[in-house]
Amino acid sequence: MDLELSEEELELRDNVRGVLAAACPPSLVRSVFEGKDTGDALWEQMVGLYWPALALPERVGGLGRTFVDVTIVVEELGRAVAPGPYLATVTQFTPAVSELGSPEQADRFLAPVAAGETTGTLAVAEHGRWEPAAVAAVARPEGSDWVLTGSKSTVLDADTADEVVVVARATDTAGIDGLGAFVVPGDELEAFPRRVIDPTLRICDVVLDDIEVPADRVLAEPGAGGTTQALRRVLDEATVAVAASTIGACRRIFEMTLDYAKEREQFGRPIGSFQAVKHRIADLYSIVERSTALLYFAALTIAEDDPRRREAASLAKAAAGDCQRLVAEDGLQLHGGIGMTWEYDLHLLLKRAKAGEALFGTAASHRAELARSLELVAP
Amino acid sequence: MRLTFDDTVESFRSTFRAWLGENRPSEEEMTADPAVSSAHLPGWARRWTRRMFDDGWLVPGWPPERGGRDAAPVETLVYLEELERARVPRTTNPQGLGIVAPSIFEFGTEEQVSRYAMPILRGEKSACLGMSEPGAGSDLASLSTRATAEGDGFVVNGQKVWTSGASHADFCFLFCRTDPDAPKHKGISVLLVDMDTPGVTVRPLPHITKPEQTDLNEVFFTDAVVPAANLLGQLNNGWALAGASLAHERGMVWLGTVMELESTFDRLAAEAREILPRLPAFEQAHAADQIVRCYVDVQAAKCLGYRSFAKLARGGSAPEQALMKAFCSESHRRLHLVGSELHGDGGLDVWDARRGEQAWIEQYFNSFGGTISAGTSEIQRNIIAERVLGLPRG
């Protein structure tokens, strides 16, 4: 097992980091936080560099690379607190269409993603629960069409995405049976943006008020065989991507904290020379490296379609959760007063790290998933 | 990045697996005559080391004359994986094979190689490391065991403590002060001291949970005469040698540690599957969460180890290596704590009759050996902070 980036992967990372350093400086992020910029220009630049096309098959105009490359990009986006539709479009909408839809639907919806003409997202969570069994939104048949009712919570970019994959279930079904998936044009949904801790992530709640979906937009009819399994594969990818974003932000917080401990002097010497500080920074380094190792393992299991992918995704997300807890807390504490200001960049990263914890299952919910897969508790 | 090794590495694995199947010591001979300290060589261990040496499997990365086959690092990794999987110890004298022999090859004379290093490789001698003293633990460089040049040799006086395996070792890799006037790091040398030298006495230190266990010892030196030919490397250059010696240990030691973590976790999970259903909901959820946290740690240690190995195998540096010692030993300790607490009041029992070994609580106390010896967790954090992250010394 080789968990170190290859030459090619390192090159991609350095390239993405370089682009973002110029195109997404903290000043841009702060402008988005303050509502003065939308980050649209950044997205255009990403499209120009074929980032959305990276892992898409060549048949739809993609570059045919793997999920490892997507992970590398998303980690860097987290590090830069980049705004924009990359995360939802590439790591949620795209796998939803690929895994749940037909080859014709993949061609139809993903070719425009590869070309940077379409953005998308995934509406799956309800009332803070991300597991398939928690879906309560209903899809009822009407002729060859379907009608969706209910509500969705915490949908990224729901107010701006061109297309939204909505997960809903057949009437009178429960648990993991009866689930289906539909592609709904974004402007047919009622999306309510929430004021959230990291405003570069456009998090919305969504109301589904009798939305009619024609047959050619049904990715998986409710109850069709294999839907739940396919949906879980989508969630694996989306979960690992959120872990990557979180760990990217955490690594940057760690680096800033380390630099600060070297520069900041008190009692006539750098605060990083005190063991009370030093040992905490060593612990931050350890947890960031451990989480990164689990992240890359998870990314690989998805890229190589290894049977351990679901467990690896939960391990990565649980580790990312513990990582952000420690790194955000000690990172802010060790910065002292300067970390408490709006002008200093640290808070942008703290907020991205915290946001990651809540998306696609908290660390606790992924530990619960692991407890079930280890058969410690009943399924 | 990739999940699997390529075919040449896998065929190396099969070659070794086949050899191991035919040549390994049997479970029966190992349990009939167990190694009781880290320098004890029972008959089967001597024969096993010799067989590995003769067939080039003792240290695969070394040349054939030193018991190897010039294997690539990744081949050594799968070799270690196979040994762990078969539950066969590579050696019962890890500090001899892992630290002392390679240091003698690196710094020693031809005579020292033939008298001390080669016998270790052939299973004929074992070695202990004379480092810690009553007044020099984490601050090893303040050691005060004196070696005074006299005639054609040294006269050694002083005391070592926590010396693993000293009661069984044939010789000691002894750190001692040869220049009391130099700054403390600059007056230290290494001597190879035969344990049967007059004036060397060993007193075993009864262990926290097994008073009859004799791995830890005090070693006293009273006017012990050591020939000048037993000085390893340059006079007063012992501190540099200490760093280089311990570096031999890193690289792949983590693999055995990680595989032990995995097997300990499997045992914990198996017991939990029996116990958890009997617990009330809140306690069940709490215990399950503690166990899953251990699982995340074990898997993280494994992935971190493989990641650092990949960096080393490509010829780069792997700062993650510095993290492995503290993290693995702390995870090991936590596993045993969770294991003992899982059993509630049953966790008070010191003997696990079903498995015929010490129970979790005893092993929990034992596990502090990992977080205290060979550089405490606190010293590891200093090393990470100062040497890896570049924070100033306090």
CATH number at residue B276: 1.20.140.10
A293 and A363 in a common domain? yes
For strand A145-156 and strand A179-185, is the pairing parallel, antiparallel, or unpaired? Answer: unpaired
Q: Tell me the ipTM for this assembly.
A: 0.97
Single out the residue of A148, A105, A147, A151 nearest to residue A124, CA to CA.
Answer: A151
Cα separation of A274 and A238, whole Å?
Answer: 40
Residue B103 lies in a domain: no
pLDDT band at A312 (very low <50, low <70, confident <90, very high): very high
The reply to whether B120 falls in a domain is no
CATH of the domain at A132: 2.40.110.10
The verdict on B218 and B272 lying in the same domain is: no
How far does the CA of residue A284 sit from the closest CA of chain B (Å)? 10
Q: Is residue A16 located within the same domain as residue A79?
A: yes
Of the residues A224, A252, A273, which one is the last residue of a structural domain? A224
B155 in the same domain as B72: no
Asked if residue B206 and residue B259 are part of one domain, the reply reads no
Do A126 and A177 fall into the same domain?
A: yes
Contact state of B3 with A306 under an 8 Å Cβ cutoff: yes
Contact A285 B2 (CB under 8 A): no
Residue that is written with structure tokens 């762990």 in the block: B84
**Inter-residue contact A118 to A163 (CB < 8 Å):** yes
Closest CA to A295 of A322, A326, A317, A310: A317
Total number of domains in chain B: 3
Based on the domain organization, do A154 and A216 belong to the same domain?
Answer: yes
**Region B333-354 average pLDDT:** 94
Instruction: Provide the pLDDT for residue A65.
Output: 96
Across the interface, whether the CB atoms of B285 and A377 are under 8 A apart is answered yes
Distance CA A120, CA A158 (A): 8
**A138 lies in some domain:** yes
Where in A233-376 does DSSP place strands (E)?
265-266, 269-270
Out of A76, A98, A118, a domain closes at A118
Nearest CA to B1 out of A66, A75, A91 is that of A66
Tell me if B76 is assigned to some domain. Answer: yes
What span, in angstroms and rounded, lies between the C-alpha atoms of A189 and A160?
11
Query: Which A-chain residues 65-84 have CB contacts (< 8 A) with chain B?
Result: 68
Residue B81 placed within a domain: yes
- Put simply, whether B10 touches A (Cβ < 8 Å) is no
Question: Which amino acid appears at position B220 of this protein?
Answer: F
pLDDT value at position B250?
Answer: 59
Residues B375 and B276 occupy one common structural domain:
yes
Domain assignment present for residue A311? The answer is: yes
Q: Are A358 and A365 contacting, i.e. CB atoms less than 8 angstroms apart?
A: no
Chain B nearest C-alpha distance from A33 (Å):
32
Q: Of A197, A224, A251, which closes a domain?
A: A224
Give the C-alpha distances (Å, rounded to integers) separating B42 from B30, B33, B123, B234: 9, 6, 10, 34
Tokens representing residue A45 in the block = 């630049």
Same domain for B260 and B341?
yes
Q: Same structural domain for residues A128 and A67? A: no
Size of interface A-B (CB pairs under 8 A): 148
Calculate how close chain B gets to A28, using CA atoms only, in Å. 30
With a cut of 90, say whether residue A304 has pLDDT above it.
yes
| A362 touching B (Cβ < 8 Å) | no
What is the rounded distance in angstroms from the CA atom of residue B232 to the CA atom of residue A322? Answer: 47
Q: Are residues A217 and A245 in the same domain?
A: no
Of the residues B40, B69, B92, the one at which a domain ends: B92
Q: Give me the mean pLDDT over the A137-154 stretch.
A: 97
Q: Tell me which residue of B176, B171, B169, B131 sits closest to B373, measured CA to CA.
A: B131
**B86 CB within 8 Å of a chain A CB:** no
Q: What percent of chain B has pLDDT over 70?
A: 98
Q: Do B229 and B265 lie in a common domain?
A: no
- Which residue in B288, B307, B378 is closest to A4 by CB distance? B307
One domain, residues A110 and A129:
no
Mean predicted confidence (pLDDT) in B162-186: 96
On chain B, the residues whose CB falls within 8 A of the CB of A267 are none
Residue B323 near residue A281, CB atoms below 8 Å: no
Cβ partners under 8 Å of residue B14, min gap 6: none
Residues B66 and B131 in one domain: no
* Amino acid found at A327: V
Q: How far apart are CA A270 and CA A278, in angstroms?
A: 11
Give tens-digit pLDDT for B64-122: 999 999 999 899 999 999 999 999 999 999 999 999 999 999 999 999 999 999 999 99
Nearest CB to B323; choose among A273, A289, A299: A289
Answer whether residue A379 is part of any domain.
no
A283 neighbourhood in chain B, CB within 8 Å = 381
What average pLDDT does the segment B374-380 reach? 92
Q: Which residues of B are catalytic?
A: 249
- State the residue range of the domain holding B334: 250-388
Nearest C-alpha neighbor of A20 from the set A63, A68, A66, A81: A81
Q: Which residues of B touch A274 (CB under 8 A)?
A: 394
Question: Which domain does A19 fall in, by range?
Answer: 7-118
Q: Which helix (H) or strand (E) holds A242?
A: helix A227-263
Rounded distance, CA A247 to CA A363, Å?
Answer: 13
Domain with B71 in it: what CATH number? Answer: 1.10.540.10
How far is A231 from A305, CA to CA, in rounded Å? 15
Judging by DSSP bridges, how do beta strands A120-123 and A163-170 pair with one another? Answer: parallel
Do B281 and B370 have their domain in common?
A: yes
Averaged pLDDT score across all residues of chain A: 97
Whether the predicted pLDDT of B248 surpasses 70: no
Confidence of residue B249 (pLDDT cuts 50, 70, 90): low
CA distances from B27 to A378, B24, B53, B240, B244 (A): 37, 9, 21, 41, 36
Interface test with B, best of A5, A255, A289 (most B CBs within 10 A): A289
Nearest to B107 by CA among B247, B245, B225: B245
B285 contacts A370? CB cut-off 8 A? no
Q: Considering its fold, how many domains does chain A have in total?
A: 3
Residues A235 and A340 in one domain: yes
Contacts with B281 from chain A: Cβ below 8 Å = none
Identify whether B106 is part of a domain. Answer: no
What phi, psi does B28 have (nearest 5°)? Answer: -65, -50
Residue A378 included in any domain? no
What pLDDT score was predicted for residue B322? 82
Q: Tokens 């969705």 sit at which residue? A: A152
User: Do A114 and A164 share a structural domain?
Assistant: no
| Inter-chain CB proximity A285 and B4 less than 8 Å | no
What is the per-residue DSSP string for B308-353? HHHHHHTT---TTHHHHHHHHHHHHHHHHHHHHHHTGGGGG-SEET
Q: Which of residues 271-310 of A touch B (CB under 8 A)?
A: 272-275, 278-279, 281-283, 285-286, 289-294, 296-297, 299-301, 304, 306
Looking at the complex, report in whole angstroms how far the Cα of residue B390 sits from the nearest Cα belonging to chain A: 8
Which of B179, B208, B236 represents a domain boundary (last residue)? B236
Q: Of the candidates B236, B263, B288, which is a domain's last residue?
A: B236
Q: Are residues A266 and A340 in the same domain?
A: yes
| Residue A65 in domain | yes
Q: Which residues of B touch A285 (CB under 8 A)?
A: 323, 384, 388-389
- A44 and A66 together in one domain: yes
**With 80 as the cut, is the pLDDT of residue B244 above it?**
no
Show the CA angle centred on residue B286, arms to residues B366 and B339, nearest 5°: 20
Residues A235, A154 share a domain: no
Instruction: Report angle CA A210, A215, A220 to the nearest 5 degrees.
Output: 90
Residue whose pair of structure tokens reads 């992967």 in the numeric block: A9
Sign (positive/negative) of CA torsion A60, A64, A67, A72? Answer: negative
